[in-house]
Structure 1
Amino acid sequence: MTTTNETQGLNFLQEIIEEDRRTGKHGGRVLTRFPPEPNGYLHIGHAKSICLNFGLAKQYGGLCNLRFDDTNPVTEDTDYVESIQRDVKWLGFDWEERKYFASDYFPKLYDFAVELIKQGKAYVCSLSPDEIREYRGDFTTPGRDSPYRTRSVEENLDLFARMRAGEFPDSKHTLRAKIDMASPNPVLRDPPIYRIRHAHHHRTGDAWPIYPLYDFAHCLSDALEGITHSICTLEFENRRVLYDWIVDSLIKGDRPHQYEFNRLNLNYTVMSKRKLLKLVTEKYVSGWDDPRMMTLSGLRRRGFTPKSIRDFASRAGISKTQQLIDMGVLELCIREDLNDTAPRAMGVLRPLKVVVENYPEGQVEMLEVQNHPQKPEMGTRQVPFMRELFIEADDFMEVPAKGFFRLAPGKEVRLRSAYFITCKEVIKDADGKVVELRCTYDPATKGGDSPDGRKVKGTLHWAPGNAPSVEVRLYDRLFSVESPDSDDAKDFTTFLNPNSLEVITNARVEPMLANAAAESRFQFERLGYFYVDPKDSQPGRPVFNRTVTLKDSWVKEQGKGK
């Protein structure tokens, strides 16, 4: 995974690895890992880390492990484990047989904690969690020694063994590293490394009433697996000193090293698992795989491709500087991919009936239409043309505004790959709504071209009168502001976009789309790229999710009325 600007050469992580290989550090090995906590579904930010860790390993002939940091039984679940594996594989990466869990190492981590106690580097503290936070202070308030800091090694070993045996209730005691309560970095002020938690674990059941904290388990899991380059995001930078202190205290010989890079921040969304969970549990969305969610399962269900996500992760770049990526970049990546690969089709979202009065009643003419105008190798399809058909309601204006080149009374337009038609009469219902257009066609313009060379400015997509009715879901950005979680005075759900989903139940599509297979992708001409929903579609009744519009219309739409 390189920077987006090729002239910049290697990113800083590649430079580190190349220098390590040059000097023989780690014996020239490269072993990375992707270490999610199974407490939620992966989102677009995780994709950057997945691509980076697996990508660096592949680039330098190394390996990448998949490890679940499952040290908090209260929030973790096997459903999350399974979803994470699906997402990583969908992105195109394979951990082969190297799937691990921090819970695999619980016995060894316990032994490591005992070793720290024996070294006089850990003690059992009986302060409450609130008292521990108070005693540790902050960046402006110095820390204070716990009254239990001077317990003997023997007493600490006894108490820790009894914690392990389940004698004490939650929060009665905590095992803390004994480092430096006067450190200017609060992270080093005797951080907790084990807590009592009587909770059922998704893998170990009720075998353990105590669990290691992330800072303790993560670095030692790296060491036990022989990880060489432990790559994480910048919020862990100030915790690197603790990572090093724990590893140096317990690991002899070759050891892992932590490096930090900028996380992926995307506008018009939230990345916090806690906030994503709130959207799901409070039913602001239909689930983790709601196509408006920036989870990988949501993006997949919306129709994004693995290639587009990998491309986006690459364009985001790797550096030490935090940045906010515009949603338009992600949308550009999927447009570029689907423009090459998606066959064309015609669908009418808001149908307006057209009767071609001079076309023979009962006649059906099969027109040959290209599946991709730039790729003849993708072949052609047959689209029926008949006396009755449908166009978009928005493609007609009874009193056309300046610059409106679509259909209007007396105006002639081209029907894509079919004929020129001219509007002769407008039919309205009792409320004055236009419900039908009466038109004529020019038989000499078959295929959409005029033999006499006359030009028309408007080309419309259409659907034949026997077009099946289908459900189409138009998805847009879930939030209406760039930074929905930046206003501390308001809950982020305040900024949900009320127009993020529009469901159309009577759209009309080419007959061949009635049997479109689940997970198929199409470009609906002039409308956007659409994906056959794999969850709600049924044989003969596809549901089409709009993946993205043909052009970025968000900025234009947001500017209306200003």
Structure 2
Amino acid sequence: MTDAAEPPRTHFIRQIVEADLASGKHDRILTRFPPEPNGYLHIGHAKSITLNFGLAEAVGGACNLRFDDTNPLKEDVEFVDSIQEDVRWLGFDWGDRLYFASDYFEQLYGFAVELIEKGLAYVCDLSAEETRLYRGTLTEPGRDSPNRNRPVAENLDLFTRMRAGEFPDGARTLRAKIDMASPNINLRDPVLYRIKHGVVHHQTGTAWCLYPTYDYTHPLSDALEGITHSLCTLEFEDHRPLYDWCINNVSVPCKPRQIEFSRLNLEYTVMSKRRLTDLVGEGHVQGWDDPRMPTLAGLRRRGYTPAAVRDFCERIGITKSDNLVEMALLESAIRDDLDATAPRRMAVLRPLRVVLTNYPADRTESMESRNHPKDETQGTRAIPFGREIYIDRNDFTENPPKDFKRLIPGGEVRLRNAYVIRCDEVIKDAHGEVVELRASVDLDTLGRNPEGRKVKGVIHWVSAAQAVPAEIRLYDRLFSVPTPGAGGTDYRTEINPDSLRVLSGCLLESSLRAVQPGERFQFEREGYFVADPDSTPERPVFNLTVGLRDTWGRSQA
């Protein structure tokens, strides 16, 4: 990893791995992270990445990065590049162990020939629909294909001609000969190869028109790489017998062990690549890196840190029990990380002008402020102060509720790192809207509270003359319900209409004028924000990463 981190907590998979090392079954552990390059990685993949890379690292082993690229119709080099960027961003490195399943196409073809020669595979002429009907159901056994007992020589000839491109798409498949009556439908003569003409594979180009299926490719790729432990999510548990069948019936150099763990299910989002693809394609979000998306690219643009994501994955643990993880747990992880690391700044999101009537118009002071209240190593900065300032409109009211500790007519508050001020006059426009406050400043209160003076409220502000105009994007949870699509509903109808609010005309303190995209800050009393890639010195743009506390439940009540 590229930065220091706590070692992974113990769990049942780590116990298995350590027992295998202790018994001498393996001298060194080799795992792999095997994404299909048909979309961007999401937070669920982060759990698998931290498990595979983190566990291997913890026990002195290694982890390969391999793209299981067997379906060129849905794959793209854009996804290959984004996946590598995401794994590196999380802090992991595969060294020289970058592989593609397509690297093994020739060997996989040879293994298929071996299965045919052993009488364990045959060329089938059934269409996709016929294959499905012949397969049976969970309560009824399947029926043998009319081609199941083709002679070996005929199967070899047809398979060779399939590779040569003699047959159209869907005309023939190669199927394993296992058990059409098996209670496990995955063992009912699964398809191993299918014909796909006219596609350009991102690695092999047009060299192949015959592509292996995932269930056939995955175990054999593991075996060819010498993987010791193949870690995958629970939906592949029923596929494990087929995984073992493949590696047990061809001459591969090793026999990896598949172990399943529960996938990550997170509230208020969807984790299906198909649904995420639809959200992007149908324009519900602004791309794979939209900060509302659960993709790692989206989390990165929203201001999440690799350390926070890894910490979250450690917190939820590795088990075999499916559960729904609260979004608040992910938000807590990033909040804890940024609380310790993010410099503090002042930003007024809903500006209200305040004129300090007794402060000299030609005077400008420089107020010193610590960049972090708990970390002196972050130093201090100078904040300009003058006769005209802006405060947040929410920090003033003419009709205060009980326990309101901010500014009211005739009331006093302290400006953060500056003076105590008193509101003397409220200026309104023709519609009765408050447009300006006139206030007086107590020049004896800089940095101290005179004896007998009780000022409960402290508010943030920016100097009008040096304020930096900015756009602030307030991101919230993408869906308004914890489990979108539950009960057969259309998950699109449950998109939160307030998942993005854009505030223009916001004002930042002058130190943020030269901010760089990706820089993170706590805007005091507002939340944690990150400078968006769209940000420029002339027009800073900040995204809300997470609030200072979890307010979702209260806001939805």
TM-score (norm 2): 0.97
Separation in structure 1 between the aligned mates of residue 251 and residue 52 of structure 2, nearest angstrom: 23
| Kept in 1: contact 2:469–2:540 (CA 8 A) | no
Structure 2 partner of 1:88: 87
Structure 1 partner of 2:494: 495
Structure 1 partner of 2:504: 505
Separation in structure 1 between the aligned mates of residue 236 and residue 182 of structure 2, nearest angstrom: 17
User: Compared with structure 1, are the counterparts of its residues 9 and 170 closer, same or farther at alpha carbon in structure 2 (3 Å cutoff)?
Assistant: closer
1:9 CA drift (Å): 7.5
1:394 aligns with 2:400: no
Structure 2 partner of 1:108: 107
Structure 2 partner of 1:373: 373
User: Compared with structure 1, are the counterparts of its residues 269 and 504 closer, same or farther at alpha carbon in structure 2 (3 Å cutoff)?
Assistant: same
Structure 2 partner of 1:557: 555
Structure 2 partner of 1:468: 468
Structure 2 partner of 1:45: 44
User: Compared with structure 1, are the counterparts of its residues 25 and 211 closer, same or farther at alpha carbon in structure 2 (3 Å cutoff)?
Assistant: same
- What amino acid does structure 2 have at the position aligned with 1:452? E
Separation in structure 2 between the aligned mates of residue 521 and residue 22 of structure 1, nearest angstrom: 44
- What amino acid does structure 1 have at the position aligned with 2:478? L
| Kept in 2: contact 1:515–1:541 (CA 8 A) | no
- What amino acid does structure 1 have at the position aligned with 2:514? N
Structure 2 partner of 1:328: 328
Separation in structure 2 between the aligned mates of residue 55 and residue 111 of structure 1, nearest angstrom: 34
- List per-residue Cα deviations over 1:507-538 (Å, max 9, x = no partner): 0010110111221111000000010112x112
Structure 2 partner of 1:364: 364
Secondary structure (helix, strand or coil) at the match of 2:513 reads helix
| Kept in 2: contact 1:30–1:60 (CA 8 A) | yes
Structure 2 partner of 1:416: 416
Separation in structure 2 between the aligned mates of residue 9 and residue 524 of structure 1, nearest angstrom: 34
Structure 1 partner of 2:303: 303
User: Compared with structure 1, are the counterparts of its residues 394 and 122 closer, same or farther at alpha carbon in structure 2 (3 Å cutoff)?
Assistant: same
Structure 1 partner of 2:149: 150
Structure 1 partner of 2:535: 537
- List per-residue Cα deviations over 1:58-97 (Å, max 9, x = no partner): 0111010000000000000000000000000000000001
- What amino acid does structure 2 have at the position aligned with 1:276? L
Separation in structure 2 between the aligned mates of residue 458 and residue 244 of structure 1, nearest angstrom: 67
- What amino acid does structure 2 have at the position aligned with 1:371? N
- What amino acid does structure 1 have at the position aligned with 2:228? T
Please say which of residues 236-245 and 369-378 is displaced more in the overlay.
Answer: 369-378
| Kept in 1: contact 2:516–2:531 (CA 8 A) | yes
Secondary structure (helix, strand or coil) at the match of 1:25 reads coil
Separation in structure 1 between the aligned mates of residue 75 and residue 472 of structure 2, nearest angstrom: 35
Secondary structure (helix, strand or coil) at the match of 2:543 reads strand
1:19 CA drift (Å): 1.4
- What amino acid does structure 2 have at the position aligned with 1:493? R
Structure 2 partner of 1:429: 429
User: How high is the sequence identity, in percent, across the aligned residues?
Assistant: 61
Separation in structure 2 between the aligned mates of residue 446 and residue 539 of structure 1, nearest angstrom: 32
Separation in structure 2 between the aligned mates of residue 486 and residue 46 of structure 1, nearest angstrom: 22
Q: Show the 5 A alignment for 1:507-526.
A: 507-526=506-525
| Kept in 2: contact 1:68–1:102 (CA 8 A) | yes
| Kept in 1: contact 2:532–2:541 (CA 8 A) | yes
- What amino acid does structure 2 have at the position aligned with 1:524? F
- List per-residue Cα deviations over 1:134-165 (Å, max 9, x = no partner): 11112112111111101110111111111100
- List per-residue Cα deviations over 1:416-458 (Å, max 9, x = no partner): 01111111111011111100011111101112x3122422121
Separation in structure 1 between the aligned mates of residue 10 and residue 94 of structure 2, nearest angstrom: 25
Separation in structure 2 between the aligned mates of residue 431 and residue 10 of structure 1, nearest angstrom: 64
Structure 1 partner of 2:212: 212
Structure 2 partner of 1:456: 455
Secondary structure (helix, strand or coil) at the match of 1:29 reads coil
- What amino acid does structure 1 have at the position aligned with 2:354? V
1:485 CA drift (Å): 2.2
| Kept in 2: contact 1:353–1:391 (CA 8 A) | yes
Separation in structure 2 between the aligned mates of residue 90 and residue 342 of structure 1, nearest angstrom: 18
User: Compared with structure 1, are the counterparts of its residues 252 and 274 closer, same or farther at alpha carbon in structure 2 (3 Å cutoff)?
Assistant: closer
| Kept in 2: contact 1:429–1:435 (CA 8 A) | yes
Structure 2 partner of 1:266: 266
| Kept in 1: contact 2:224–2:253 (CA 8 A) | no
- What amino acid does structure 2 have at the position aligned with 1:73? P
Structure 2 partner of 1:406: 406
Separation in structure 1 between the aligned mates of residue 452 and residue 335 of structure 2, nearest angstrom: 34
User: Compared with structure 1, are the counterparts of its residues 252 and 169 closer, same or farther at alpha carbon in structure 2 (3 Å cutoff)?
Assistant: closer
1:252 CA drift (Å): 5.3
TM-score (norm 1): 0.96
Secondary structure (helix, strand or coil) at the match of 2:141 reads coil
Secondary structure (helix, strand or coil) at the match of 1:100 reads strand
1:254 CA drift (Å): 3.3
- What amino acid does structure 1 have at the position aligned with 2:470? V
| Kept in 2: contact 1:129–1:171 (CA 8 A) | yes
Secondary structure (helix, strand or coil) at the match of 1:337 reads helix
Separation in structure 2 between the aligned mates of residue 114 and residue 40 of structure 1, nearest angstrom: 32
- What amino acid does structure 2 have at the position aligned with 1:170? D
1:337 CA drift (Å): 0.5
Separation in structure 1 between the aligned mates of residue 433 and residue 232 of structure 2, nearest angstrom: 59
How well do the aligned residues superpose, as a CA RMSD in angstroms? 1.3
Q: Show the 5 A alignment for 1:132-281.
A: 132-198=131-197, 199-251=199-251, 254-281=254-281
Structure 2 partner of 1:481: 481
Structure 2 partner of 1:14: 14
- What amino acid does structure 2 have at the position aligned with 1:394? N
- List per-residue Cα deviations over 1:18-67 (Å, max 9, x = no partner): 111122113x2200000000000000000000000001110111010000
- List per-residue Cα deviations over 1:479-515 (Å, max 9, x = no partner): 0000002131x21110000001111111001011011
1:119 aligns with 2:89: no
Secondary structure (helix, strand or coil) at the match of 2:235 reads helix
Separation in structure 2 between the aligned mates of residue 125 and residue 253 of structure 1, nearest angstrom: 29
Secondary structure (helix, strand or coil) at the match of 1:487 reads helix
Separation in structure 2 between the aligned mates of residue 179 and residue 484 of structure 1, nearest angstrom: 38
Separation in structure 1 between the aligned mates of residue 40 and residue 265 of structure 2, nearest angstrom: 17
Separation in structure 2 between the aligned mates of residue 58 and residue 215 of structure 1, nearest angstrom: 27
Secondary structure (helix, strand or coil) at the match of 2:57 reads helix
- What amino acid does structure 2 have at the position aligned with 1:121? L
Separation in structure 2 between the aligned mates of residue 377 and residue 242 of structure 1, nearest angstrom: 57
Structure 1 partner of 2:440: 440
- What amino acid does structure 1 have at the position aligned with 2:429? D
Q: Show the 5 A alignment for 1:53-68.
A: 53-68=52-67
| Kept in 2: contact 1:223–1:251 (CA 8 A) | no
Secondary structure (helix, strand or coil) at the match of 2:249 reads helix
